Amino acid sequence: MPHYYLGKTSQGATVSRTSTRDDFTVAIANIETGAWATFSTSVSRAWENLQRTSTANLEVVEVRLVDRKAFMAATGKAKAPAAPVEAKPDLMSIMETRGAQATREGWLKAFVEAARPVFAAAEAELPKLVRVSVGFPSKGARSKVIGECWNASASDDGVSEVFIVPGLQADPARVADVLTHELIHAALGTEEGHGPTFRRVMKRLGLEGKATATVAGEGWRSWALPIVEALGPFPGAGLNAGMLLAGGKKTQTTRYLKVCCSMCDWTARVTAKHLEGRTLRCPDDACEGTLEQAA
């Protein structure tokens, strides 16, 4: 890491090399004592903080570009990681509703009820009523969204709605961890988005990765897999959104039709009028093929 030095008269000085990356920060230390005095993403702001809060000799200080996480840990300023939940799921609720899990909605609902104590321990108590179902997201079947939570205000009866895409049905554990992500939204309110409260809760529940695309971690598996195993196989099969239409082929809806040469790879698009009652020759002089409508 580069080091920079500022004297007492350098209050307004700028460093020749700075960084705006999130994982780096500017730190200032008193060289004589070796104690870190302040840090900031701005050199001038860090200098002002140092002058305002320090009573030490500021004749010589060190300005350094440091790794943010390492600096926070070394100075004791790092926030304590979210403690994982220790609550146990309510597996008895599954036994009490045995048979209701034969449907997809029943399976999802049973997971929600069994997970309630765990969410409560993570300080994200689930609403008394929440609907869970399998369905395509609001952006459509070909969207990359794999789960979606609708705010209770969007429902006529004020109940949050959660949807899991059909493409995940072959993997019950994946269905459950995506459901966990969406249930956090239901518990906190969708207006929270993927902000700090969401991230704290997701970590306590054992989800890992980016807040916008979480995956199951060991902490999640410790409490959620017993629920999944008690519920058994998910009552549905994986569904390929790319095969929406019969035969998996996209039906052409434009007025231009695709034509291909019967002998070479030449292709084009023409109107239906030009195909009716006509034989079109391939425009390649070296080819004797005719143009035919592509399947």
If you count them, how many residues does the chain have?
295
Q: Which of 171, 170, 151 is nearest to 161 (CA)?
A: 151
- Return the pLDDT at 30: 45
Q: Which of 65, 77, 76, 74 is nearest to 24 (CA)?
A: 65
**Residue spans per domain, the chain:** 3-74, 92-241, 256-293
Assess contact for 3 and 62: CB atoms under 8 A. Answer: yes
- Return the pLDDT at 10: 35
- The beta strand positions in the chain, using DSSP E, are 3-7, 24-30, 35-40, 60-67, 130-134, 147-150, 160-164, 207-208, 215-216, 256-261, 267-271, 280-281, 290-293
Q: Can you tell me the distance from the alpha carbon of 277 to that of 269, in angstroms, rounded to the nearest whole number?
A: 17
- Return the pLDDT at 294: 79
Q: Can you tell me the distance from the alpha carbon of 251 to that of 229, in angstroms, rounded to the nearest whole number?
A: 41
- Return the pLDDT at 119: 96
Q: Where are the alpha helices (DSSP H) in 144-217?
A: 172-188, 196-204
3-class SS of residue 131: strand
Assess contact for 268 and 281: CB atoms under 8 A. Answer: no
**CA–centroid distance for 162 within its chain:** 16
Per-residue confidence of the chain (295 residues) as pLDDT tens digits?
Answer: 333 333 332 333 333 333 333 344 445 444 444 444 444 545 556 556 555 555 544 444 445 545 555 555 655 555 666 778 888 998 888 888 777 778 999 999 999 999 999 999 999 999 999 999 999 988 888 788 999 999 999 999 999 999 999 999 999 999 999 999 999 999 999 999 999 999 999 999 999 999 999 999 999 999 999 999 999 999 988 777 666 544 555 555 557 888 888 888 788 888 877 777 788 888 888 888 888 887 6
- Return the pLDDT at 51: 58
- Return the pLDDT at 76: 59
Q: Which two tokens stand for residue 247?
A: 């035969």
Q: How far is CA 252 from CA 139, 242, 249, 259, 294, in A?
A: 21, 15, 9, 12, 10
- Return the pLDDT at 57: 47
